[in-house]
Amino acid sequence: MQFKKTILALSVSLMLASCGGTTPTSGSVSEQPGSTSSAPVGEWSYSRNERNGKYVDLTLAKDRIPEGTNFYDACKPTVYYVDGEEREDYSLEKLRIEFEIVDRVNPEKVYSAGEALPAGWYYAQAKAPSKSREDRKPFVVEKVAVEKAEEGKGYHTVKREDMEFAKVGKHPNIGALGAGKFPSVGTPTLIVIPVQFTNSKFVDEQEAIDVLERAFFASNEELGDQQWESLKSYYYKSSYGLLDIQGSVSPVYTANMTTDQYASGSSAGQIMEDAIKWLSSQYGLNPRNYDYDGDGYIDGVEMVYMTDKQTPQGSGDSTWWNYCTTTNSLPNKANPTPHRLFWSRYDYVQNAYYAGSPDHPTLDVDAHTIVHETGHMMGLNDYYSYATDSQGGKVAGPAGCVDMMDQNVGDHNAYSKMMYNWVDAKVVDGTSTNFEITLNSYTDTGDFLVLRDTHEDPWNETPYDEYLIIEYYTPTGVNLKDSTGYPEWLQTTASGSSAYGHGGTYEIPGLQVFHVDSRLGATWGTYENEKTTQTGRGYVDEIRDEAEFKDDGTYVSASAFPHSNTVKSGDGRQSIDYETGNAGNYTEIHAIFSTPTNSLDSSSYASTMGNTTNLFGLESFGKAAMEADEDTKAVYGGSTFSRYGHRDYFVNDLLWDDGSTCTWTFSVVAQDENSVTLHFIDNSAI
């Protein structure tokens, strides 16, 4: 009975300490929790740092917490700075309290307040730096039973078929570029048109056609071992076989103008319409063969142009750049119209960033830009920020660079693939509050987790909500070649050769976490005689493509897609806080690195690109995978996600954008080349 008596003594001590007086606090224990050993760990005592009636008072709502959670979220500390009769609450102050968690058996082991803790005896030290005062309290971390997750215990699966109605291509107000999106599932056929000008022509038209056939439609066998992917091979792999893009390259179209004439006022849309008419009259092109989803629009036209002009770096002029846009054409199911297009430089396709095979020495291709822009054709936004210093916006890289819709490398993340309707989603649902779950390689299998508040406001089971995406990155599939560093980002820049970090996807496996806030917005009010009066606005769960006018004289607007990854840029593309209608700080998708400091909201964000310290993982595995010796600096930045430990990544500090609280802590407890095991624990159930 010695153990029970000791814990009673400890609890009494804690109750005395919580009264906020100046009496020194102390406690004693005789054995380590969860251990069969009775080896003593010694007496613990501490006299609070108090001078002139001023001191810091730390109290704990819980002094016994389960293994695998973190001090802050589980013990729920309250911290006051006391000055005589005045008690100032420091509990929620982000910068004014420093916590340090010390293992009492091995005092050299020190943890942060957000790290997952193994079983043992600890004390927490709370320090108010500006006041030179501190307080300490003891607490216990116990071993407890951990369940093994299975369907219905810890999570349930939302099938892609059940989310098909939410696919981005179905909704003109969601994602990029409105209606007429290129289909993300099936076998749609793409029109690829090489374009030249009267003064700037391809040296060899047939070679240009061969290069584009290779870049857009080649198989991996045709590309060879040394090349990356074609558009077709990339999307077949990334979609797990659900998208098999068909098509061919047309004869070269010559625009009836010079490059200077084009730059002085012509549009890519007009060239597209003229080229389609030319192909129809000269080569019998039938637009109905290019409307796979039957919406009255040609699914997509990708024009690759030859120009004698340089890319206007830094000028904001997109004339000789790569971009997607739409025309004002209306749908026509009997004779589908060209509407959505990609305008791309030829030298960005034939730039030989990856060496070609010996069999094709002149046909080196690079499809990274083509793949990225086709992502827009299917409805995704850019995940980098458009803001620049001159616009007064936040120069940042919210998505962390390693993503196809960010810096044109690697795979699409699970949020994007949900929008495309390529993946099932496993959602943590609170049916177990302390469990372990194994995820397989996300890139290879599409396995991932959705995590959101499981209590008051569960996930709405569409991509359009606020939640975390948790996926196990592996340098396989479409990530493989980029994992050695993508040459475009490894080129020496004015900022030095390390301006883009590793310059590609990650070299070794690790856990990636993203915070998604793609909530939809709407306005509502009353109407009379076709005049509307707005009475409210805010975030909604419903996907509504058109305004709804009800018989009771009220209306609800069509759903808006208000968030982007550009914050306050001043250029019309900034993220909007839909409760106010003003420019806001909420990003559509933000990477959460394993390190507690958010390095992505600064102008130096690109230097983190592909660094493995961004990933969550076990250091022992990371060093073995990197073949690093014991003196090597940390491979991973940490192994635990917690609300407190990663508060720097959230606009509202300890709260999510919608004001809710993430009550879960999760940690990597095992991993190998193909899978990772995570321990989840719900702090609200402690």
* Residue 222, helix vs strand vs coil: helix
Helices (H), 354-457: 368-377, 404-407, 414-420, 442-445
What is the pLDDT at residue 133?
A: 81
Answer yes or no: are the C-beta atoms of 125 and 97 closer than 8 Å.
no
Band of the pLDDT at 279, cuts 50, 70, 90?
A: very high
- Report the DSSP pairing between strands 189-196 and 253-254: parallel
* Residue 206, helix vs strand vs coil: helix
Band of the pLDDT at 35, cuts 50, 70, 90?
A: very low
Q: Measure the N-to-C terminal CA separation of the chain; round to a whole number of Å.
A: 25
What angle do the packed helices 205-217 and 231-238 form, to 10 degrees? Answer: 10
Instruction: Name the residue with higher pLDDT: 388 or 165.
Output: 165
What is the pLDDT at residue 358?
A: 47
What is the pLDDT at residue 95?
A: 54
Specify the amino acid at residue 450. V
Inform me whether the pLDDT recorded for 93 exceeds 70: no
Inform me whether the pLDDT recorded for 581 exceeds 60: yes
Percent of the chain at pLDDT > 70 equals: 86
Q: What is the pLDDT of residues 414-463, one digit of tens each?
A: 999 999 999 999 999 999 999 999 999 999 999 999 999 878 899 999 99
Burial of 151 per CB tally in 10 Å (0-12, 13-18, 19+): exposed
Give the C-alpha distances (Å, rounded to integers) separating 149 from 204, 429, 437, 440: 60, 11, 5, 14
Answer yes or no: are the C-beta atoms of 340 and 291 closer than 8 Å.
no
Instruction: Name the residue with higher pLDDT: 360 or 79.
Output: 79
Instruction: Name the residue with higher pLDDT: 131 or 322.
Output: 322
Residue holding tokens 């007496």?
43
Percent of the chain at pLDDT > 90 equals: 71
Q: What angle do CA 203, 204, 207 make, to 5 degrees?
A: 130
Band of the pLDDT at 583, cuts 50, 70, 90?
A: confident
Task: Give the integer Cα–Cα distance in Å for 465 and 255.
Answer: 45
What angle do the packed helices 231-238 and 368-377 form, to 10 degrees? Answer: 60
Q: What is the pLDDT of residues 354-402, one digit of tens each?
A: 444 444 454 578 899 999 999 999 999 999 998 876 555 567 899 999 9
What is the pLDDT at residue 2?
A: 36
Residue 333 in tokens: 């199911």
What is the pLDDT at residue 387?
A: 81
* Other beta carbons within 10 Å of 605: 22
Answer yes or no: are the C-beta atoms of 526 and 555 closer than 8 Å.
yes
Band of the pLDDT at 315, cuts 50, 70, 90?
A: low
Inform me whether the pLDDT recorded for 276 exceeds 80: yes
Q: Which of 26-30, 70-74, 311-315, 422-426 has the lowest mean pLDDT?
A: 26-30
Inform me whether the pLDDT recorded for 37 exceeds 50: no
Answer yes or no: are the C-beta atoms of 97 and 18 closer than 8 Å.
no
For the four alpha carbons of 222, 225, 231 and 232, in that order, the dihedral sign comes to positive
What is the pLDDT at residue 357?
A: 41
What is the pLDDT at residue 499?
A: 81
Task: Give the integer Cα–Cα distance in Å for 68 and 247.
Answer: 52
* Other beta carbons within 10 Å of 36: 6
* Other beta carbons within 10 Å of 626: 13
Q: How many residues does the chain have?
A: 686
Supply the mean pLDDT for the chain.
87
Task: Give the integer Cα–Cα distance in Å for 136 and 127.
Answer: 9
Answer yes or no: are the C-beta atoms of 538 and 646 closer than 8 Å.
no
Burial of 238 per CB tally in 10 Å (0-12, 13-18, 19+): buried
Give the C-alpha distances (Å, rounded to integers) separating 12 from 32, 61, 64, 245, 447: 19, 14, 13, 69, 48
Q: What is the pTM of this model?
A: 0.91
Inform me whether the pLDDT recorded for 319 exceeds 90: no
Report, as an integer, the average pLDDT of 140-154: 97
- List Cβ neighbours of 317 (8 Å cut-off, separation of 6 or more): none
What is the pLDDT at residue 110?
A: 96
Q: What is the pLDDT of residues 325-334, one digit of tens each?
A: 999 999 999 9
Residue 341 in tokens: 């297009």
Q: Which of 123-132, 264-273, 471-480 has the lowest mean pLDDT?
A: 123-132
Instruction: Name the residue with higher pLDDT: 501 or 411.
Output: 411
Residue 257 in tokens: 């103008």
Q: Which of 92-96, 98-102, 484-488 has the lowest mean pLDDT?
A: 92-96
